[in-house]
Amino acid sequence: MRIIFMGTPEFAVASLDALIKAGCDIVAVITAPDKPAGRGKKLSESAVKQYAVENGIKVLQPEKLRDPEFLEKLRSLKAELQVVVAFRMLPEVVWNMPYRGTINLHASLLPQYRGAAPINWVLINGEKESGVTTFFLSHEIDTGNVLFTEKVTLTGHETAGELHDRLMNKGAGLLVKTVKGIESGRYNVHLQSALLDGDGVELKHAPKIFKEDCLIDWLQPAESIYNKIRGLSPYPAAYTLLNDKILKIYRSEFEIAEPGIQPGGFLTDNKTYLKFAAQDGYVYLTEVQLEGKKQMDIGAFLRGIKF
């Protein structure tokens, strides 16, 4: 079965690698154009392009997915199936091209957490489980018929970076299962509306995260702040202001207790702990980065700062 793979970041590389190792015929990879990066503004290749080049796979990097020249190249590849992992939104003329359709791997249990940042929002909201889903693309983003899902239990302590790696590997295996199922005809499709547990179930979304979403509100409960910190770590990172500078927080712990100071105030022994008061307790910062400084544990941070 001739397959075109579409993806850009490291998350997609695991899936591409798994498909190659499973013997799938990847006739081409579609990925983002090279972009200037770093201080020297040298052109940087996507992780998927680097993998494809190393493995001798044809690479296409269209600026616009509706470009007639690109569409003609796509048709000439005669793909039976297109696989999308962490790529941009496709126009119908692209996703409707192969006769077997276009499938997508999404890092949540659809229909919950449709959108650009499911890994972050699952943790920010303190969920107990997450997972990966494969589905056929359709007109509305992340709404197509579901093929397969696989759940993972959350510990309540993992960061977004750690969950990213778990789902990246779990998703790669699920994608191989999905492609093999489509190739053999052994699969069922499920309407997303039928997967909701019942009437009145809240549909939660996972929109793109902006800088203003990362500012900590110390009037919130301590556990909610703790979940926000791990849900945004390591990127883009939750932050607060300290000495009029941005302090990014990568790891923390929380304590439910009657705070003796106003929310947003902090206590420290200047050696081992720095804790901020929340609505119903304290949040202990354990790994931080002050604006203009390196990321470090709280002990090293306290040795180098004066309050």
Ramachandran bin of 77, using left for φ above 0, alpha for ψ from -120 to 50, beta for the remaining angles: alpha
Task: Report pLDDT for 199.
Answer: 60
- List of domains in the chain: 2-195 (3.40.50.12230), 212-303 (3.10.25.10)
Rounded to the nearest 10 degrees, what angle do helices 160-184 and 10-21 cross at?
30
Task: Report pLDDT for 197.
Answer: 66
Q: Which band of pLDDT confidence, cut at 50, 70 and 90, is reported for residue 307?
A: confident
- The total of other beta-carbon atoms located within 10 Å of residue 250's CB is 22
Q: What is the pLDDT of residues 110-158, one digit of tens each?
A: 999 999 999 999 999 999 999 999 999 999 999 999 999 999 999 999 9
Q: 82 or 201: whose pLDDT is higher?
A: 82
Is the N-terminal amide bond of 234 cis, ω within 30° of 0? yes
Secondary structure (DSSP) of 65-102 = TT-HHHHHHHHHTT-SEEEEES-PPPPHHHHT-STT-E
Task: Find the mean pLDDT for residues 235-244.
Answer: 95
Structure-token match 């902090």, residue found: 266
Q: What is the pLDDT of residues 147-178, one digit of tens each?
A: 999 999 999 999 999 999 999 999 999 999 99
Flag the least confident range among 36-45, 92-101, 171-180: 36-45
pTM beyond cutoff 0.75:
yes
How confident is the prediction for the chain on average, in pLDDT? 95
Q: Which band of pLDDT confidence, cut at 50, 70 and 90, is reported for residue 200?
A: low
Is the N-terminal amide bond of 236 cis, ω within 30° of 0? yes
Q: Which band of pLDDT confidence, cut at 50, 70 and 90, is reported for residue 198?
A: low
Task: Report pLDDT for 72.
Answer: 97
| Residue type (1 letter), 300 | A
Ramachandran bin of 101, using left for φ above 0, alpha for ψ from -120 to 50, beta for the remaining angles: left
Task: Find the mean pLDDT for residues 57-84.
Answer: 97
